[in-house]
Amino acid sequence: MMRRAFITLALLSPAAAAQSTLPYRDATLPVERRVQDLLSRMTLQEKVGQMTQIDTARLMGRDEWDRGPLNPEWMKRVLADQHVGSLLSGGGVAPIPNTPSAWAEMTNTLQRFALEHSRLGIPILYGADAVHGHNNVVGAPIFPHNLGLAATFDPSLVESIGVVTANALRATGVTWNFAPDADLGVDPRWGRFYETWGDLPELAAAMVAASVRGQQGDFGPQNVATTLKHFVGYGAPQGGKDRADAIIADADLRSSHLPPFEAGLKAGALSVMVNSGSVNGVPAHASAALLTKLLRQDLGFTGVTISDWEDVKKLQTVHKVAASYRDAVKMALTAGVDVSMVPHDAEGFTSLVLDLVKSGDVPQARIDEAAGRVLAMKFRLGLFERPYVDASGAAAAVGAGRDLAAKAARASITLLANDGVLPLGRSGRRVLIVGERARDPRSQLGGWTIGWQGMPANEDTPSVTVLDGMKATLPKGAALAFSNDVPSAPNADVIVVVVGEPPHAEGDADNPTLGLPSSDVDLLRSAVRSGKKVVAVLLSGRPVVLPDDVRTKLSGLVMAYLPGSEGGRAIADVLYGNTNPSGRLPFTWPSGAARSGAMYSLGFGLSYTTFTESTPTVDKGVLNVTVSNTGKIAGTRTVLAFGRANNRDTLAAFGKVTLAPGETRRVTLPLLAGTPANSEYRTVR
């Protein structure tokens, strides 16, 4: 810590040093006073720069598509001439080479340039989408995507992941994380379903709050600003099509879609990202009803609102509610957008804002309001005191957390079917593992990993594949073989088929049929036709619909979600019985794309042992239930208690208990906030 402090002081720019005696430089003063003092010294153009975010790709090479070293000419145009207050690495934008130290050196270079060209010594914020660990950097552990974490029903685990993620981000100079996702996962056909916490508002709320607490902490040197996204209703697009209009009744919006955002705001989230789509026909970026009335006035949010990628301009080009880019900027600012993720043409955006103010179409007070919120975030993060990072410590910080990632993946895995074939762990059993996904880490990492649409074919980040994990976990006396397809397999006792979806993100990941790729279905069919016992392992960020001629003939079905870089370790531990599965579905698994019936109900999940639970009782805000392990092996029971009142079910309490064979324990769980007092309670058995 002393070394980092020395580096920070040594690298202070001359402009910053000259201003060190001014009130906004005094870290002992309240943030609000520092903001007002700094605003009083800024020009209009400097304030507008704080409202502008540019992709670092614009500063690399010759244009926004040229990936090369930082270009001093473009750094001058963006950071000096336009006074841009924040940069981001869009999906796949990284230094060359993509290493932790290179990230730290890149952000230090950009920060130093910004400070040296700011007459008031204002540092920049640096943003990234670290949605399952520091997933942009080669070498970072990749945690399960949110849907898998939701299956753990363990907020403390999510908070721990938040701590690790924030430490890795801050060590590389990234101070603004565009996470956690607070969208409710309403339609599994939607391409971003795996980024959600499922369709339980109460669970999503608990997980979002935990993530915010873990990442933001007390705003120390290892914390980052979080972003609740995407406000609001983004998770309910019509037909499951990304960015389609969401038709949501006000009562449903408030009871289902708002709770995760409310919980994140109560946990102290510093920023909110706006829904790229529209709600009831009105683009969210142009909706004062959502961004000012609901978010600011009703929920009391005082932090920064930021657009998603190019979404201010899309009011003109996509939604077509603005006649010009100028009108689009006016709409967004008036509705309540503080920062525009432009992301390439800084001058194009800032010139329009300046013109709108000078013409009187946007009041100066609105600019002061937006810029002041951005400055407040910078003060809270300590950027004026600690603008730089120690590049020599980046690799250790980024590489930390692999055991935690494996723990999370183990806790997420959900056993959906088992005729006794699992666990595989007895000596002498011969297992054939089938499918290219068993040895391709991309399928278990998912989207938003190194690249936007998943890890590019020419990239590699340390991962344990399913095949790697099975080999490392193989019991003494057992046999394991691998094949890309299903041969006659005369020597195999069990065939484990690893199937799933290729990595995708956003609209490219929409799946209107909920089906697997045809090649994966063919692989399963070949396996079940062999006459052997078949276990299917699903690497998927959503429920998938398996043909009846496949599903009904499976001996075992394991939902592994998108388990991340340590997924192979976790899957092998579950298959071989080193881990007794405890994951439970955080959504209803539909029987078909029409979602007219349930194949597996919300909260479903099997174990290698058996449990009984008493009827829950409630006293003074605490739910009590007695849980018994009636099986022959130890196991962890994820207790889910629902309350029913006013013809509506709500998740009232949840928690975990680990029991030895034959052990009985009384479990006491606090009722979740908002549980109706007149509820009738039940647990999911």
* Cβ atoms 559, 588 nearer than 8 A: no
pLDDT of residue 118: 99
Cα 126 to Cα 175: distance, rounded to the nearest angstrom: 5
CA distance linking residue 411 with residue 394, whole number of Å: 29
pLDDT band of 679, cuts 50, 70, 90: confident
CA dihedral of 332, 224, 454, 474, whole degrees rounded to 10: -150
CA-CA-CA-CA torsion sign (62, 66, 68, 71)? positive
What confidence tens digit (pLDDT) does each residue in 260-304 have? 999 999 999 999 999 999 999 999 999 999 999 999 999 999 999
Return d(Cα 681, Cα 365) in angstroms, integer.
Answer: 51
Task: Tell me the pLDDT of the chain averaged across its residues.
Answer: 95
Is 8's pLDDT higher than 70?
no
Query: What pLDDT was estimated at residue 388?
Result: 99
Mean pLDDT, residues 595-619 taken together: 94
* Domains in the chain with CATH codes: 2-397 (3.20.20.300), 413-600 (3.40.50.1700), 611-683 (2.60.40.10)
Name the band, by pLDDT with cuts 50, 70 and 90, for residue 62. low
- The active-site residue, picked from 308, 345, 390, 510, is 308
Please check whether residue 682 is in contact with residue 616, taking contact to mean a CB–CB distance below 8 angstroms.
yes
Summarised one tens digit per residue, pLDDT across range 424-438 is 987 678 999 999 999
Percentage of the chain modeled with pLDDT above 90: 90
Amino acid type, 127: G
The predicted structure's pLDDT at residue 577: 97
Q: How confident is the model at residue 1 (pLDDT cuts 50, 70, 90)?
A: very low
Using alpha carbons only, what angle is made at residue 347 by residues 342 and 350, rounded to the nearest 5 degrees? 75
Q: What is the mean pLDDT of residues 339-346?
A: 98
556-568 pLDDT per residue, tens: 999 999 999 999 9
pLDDT at position 485 is 87
Q: What is the pLDDT of residue 18?
A: 55
Local confidence band at 505 (pLDDT 50, 70, 90 cut-offs)? very high
- Cβ(173)–Cβ(111) below 8 Å: yes
What's the rounded mean pLDDT across residues 47-75? 90
Q: Where are the beta strands (DSSP E) in 243-385?
A: 271-274, 278-279, 282-283, 304-306, 340-341
The sign of the dihedral angle between the CA atoms of 455, 457, 461, 467 is: positive
Q: Residue 685: what pLDDT?
A: 76
* Adjacency order of strands within the sheet including 176-177: 176-177, 125-128, 86-89, 52-55, 340-341
Summarised one tens digit per residue, pLDDT across range 343-357 is 999 999 999 999 999
- Asked if pLDDT for residue 606 goes beyond 50, the answer is yes
pLDDT of 677 reads 81
Q: What is the pLDDT of residue 61?
A: 77
The residues, ordered by sequence, that sit 6+ positions from 171 with a Cβ below 8 Å of its Cβ are 100, 104, 222, 389, 390, 393, 394, 396, 397, 398
What is the pLDDT at residue 342?
Answer: 99
Q: Are 675 and 650 in contact (CB under 8 A)?
A: yes
pLDDT tens for residues 519-531? Answer: 999 999 999 999 9
**Cα–Cα distance, 143 to 563 (Å, whole number):** 7
Among 656, 659, 649, residue whose Cα is nearest residue 202: 649
Mean local confidence (pLDDT), 186-208 = 98
Burial class (CB in 10 A: 0-12, 13-18, 19+), 21: exposed
Which two tokens mark 624?
């009590």
What was the pLDDT predicted at 238?
A: 97
Residue 376 is encoded by which pair of tokens?
A: 């407040």
Cα separation, 211 vs 165, in Å, equals 10
Q: What is the pLDDT of residue 676?
A: 85
Is the model more confident about 477 or about 658? 658
Report how far residue 452's alpha carbon sits from residue 183's, in angstroms, rounded to the nearest whole number.
19
- pLDDT confidence tier of residue 228, bands split at 50, 70 and 90: very high
Q: Which of 14-18, 370-374, 410-414 has the lowest mean pLDDT?
A: 14-18
Question: Is 308 known to be catalytic?
Answer: yes
Task: Give mean pLDDT, residues 585-597.
Answer: 90
The DSSP element (H or E) to which 113 belongs, if any, is helix 100-116
What is the length of the chain? 685
pLDDT at 490: 77
The mean pLDDT of 620-635, rounded to a whole number, is 97
Q: How confident is the model at residue 6 (pLDDT cuts 50, 70, 90)?
A: very low
